[in-house]
Amino acid sequence: MELGPLNLYLAFLTHTNIQLYTRKQFLQSIVKLPVKVRRFSIGLAFEFQDYFLAFVMLDNVFQQPNWYLPSGPIPFELSIPDPVHMWLTFLNQVTQAIMARVNSPSCQRDQVSAIQVVCDMKIFHGIGIYVGLETFAMAGISPFLTEAEVFDCPSRTARLCLAYWEFVNMSYSPELCCWPPYSSRFRIVEAHERESKLFKNIVSKNTTDVAIGPLEYCGNGRMVKDSHGKLILTVCWYDPGSLSKGLVSQEYRGLSRCVLGLDKIGKKGFKMKKSIKTKNESVIQGILSVSYPIDVVSPSITSPPSKRRRLSADKHLALHSVDDDKPSRQRKQRNRQGM
């Protein structure tokens, strides 16, 4: 990527996914829809001539990008020694960080969790809640120990540093595995069973707003079938750049029925409540009004043409008598003019 005279330092977190969109997809599909509709956020996007490179995420937790000149001072994160290639320098800085907390009178080392201290230390770059637990498990250290119980013990400190080295080294030398054909003694898990055993379904029945799970749940394309059986690839939910207004409405109503469990296979169908229908229609109108600014939305239920109201008999007679009086008034005016 050509970013000009500046360099960019960026560390995206666990729930961040990188997607490449064409200019048409980004401007007509992604930007027009609000976050609640497309179901993911855009933390950062780079605009090029024909494409947009977007960092999409579920929880909008994003480390601030750091721009710097090549000739100027570099960010602190880039000055941290790599434990794989600069092991002794890394150990020296770990020792300095530990001694700084030992000599600080405000540090309550016997009350603070050790894993929290490691996550806050900049020398252990990249360690957060998830990686911290994994590193402590690799070191054979309980995550419930205090800072003093870990760093006042040379054995535990050494094992923690070695576990961090091993974790970083995995990015340089990933394990290459060749999986043999499955044995007839093992049962093959079919698609629907595999879907039900995924992490998002194990945690809770409704985890649509929980930012935990594999990266492929964020910003992936979706296949939508139209009324003629043709499959359309969309870049997000209710994609206004690829779907017509009718398909957007149809997709929202269909997914709403699936969420409510009204279309379960092998069970009798149920009607949707009127209040839910009204709410769905208002949401659809909101989506279409944002996505299609020209000739926006016509109500799904067209109102019947207004009927002419029949005049009552008294009103009809009153109007008829007024019309009958008009010629007599005209004769009186002529007679007066003749006199």
Domains of the chain from N-terminus onward? 7-68 (no CATH), 80-172 (1.10.8)
What does the angle CA 253 – CA 246 – CA 276 come to, to the nearest 5 degrees? 25
At 332, is the pLDDT very low, low, confident or very high (cuts 50, 70, 90)?
Answer: low
Return d(Cα 315, Cα 311) in angstroms, integer. 6
**Which pLDDT does position 336 carry in this prediction?**
57
pLDDT of residue 63: 66
pLDDT recorded at residue 331: 57
Provide, rounded to the nearest whole percent, the portion of the chain with pLDDT above 70.
67
Among 162, 164, 143, 166, which residue's Cα sits nearest to residue 154?
Answer: 162
Q: Are 257 and 250 in contact (CB under 8 A)?
A: no
Instruction: Determine what percent of the chain is predicted with pLDDT higher than 90.
Output: 18
Alpha-carbon distance 57 to 16, whole Å?
5
Mention every residue, 6+ apart, whose C-beta is less than 8 A from residue 234: 29, 221, 222, 223, 224, 242, 243
Per-residue pLDDT band at 217 (split at 50, 70, 90)? low
Q: Ranked by mean pLDDT, which of 202-206, 217-221, 299-303 comes out on top? A: 217-221
Strand partners, 54: 19, 45
Of 43-52, 90-99, 148-157, 270-279, the range with the lowest mean pLDDT is: 270-279
Q: What is the mean pLDDT of residues 29-33?
A: 84
Give me the pLDDT at residue 274, please.
Answer: 81
pLDDT at 55 over 50: yes
**Between these two residues, 2 and 81, which has the higher pLDDT value?**
81
* CA separation for the pair 139, 59 (Å, rounded): 30
In the numeric block, which tokens belong to residue 255?
A: 């997914």
Q: Is the model's pLDDT at 159 over the cut of 80? A: yes
pTM comes to 0.55
Per-residue pLDDT, 142:
92
Q: Are strands 66-68 and 7-9 parallel, antiparallel or unpaired?
A: antiparallel
Q: Is the pLDDT at 164 greater than 60, yes or no? A: yes
Quick: pLDDT tens for 257-316. 777 777 666 666 667 788 888 887 887 787 777 655 444 333 333 444 444 545 455 555
Q: How confident is the model at residue 94 (pLDDT cuts 50, 70, 90)?
A: very high
Q: State residue 6's pLDDT score.
A: 84
Q: Where are the alpha helices (H) located in the chain, listed in sequence order?
A: 23-25, 35-38, 76-79, 87-102, 114-120, 129-139, 147-151, 154-172, 191-196, 199-203, 245-260, 274-291, 313-338
Q: Are 7 and 72 in contact (CB under 8 A)?
A: no
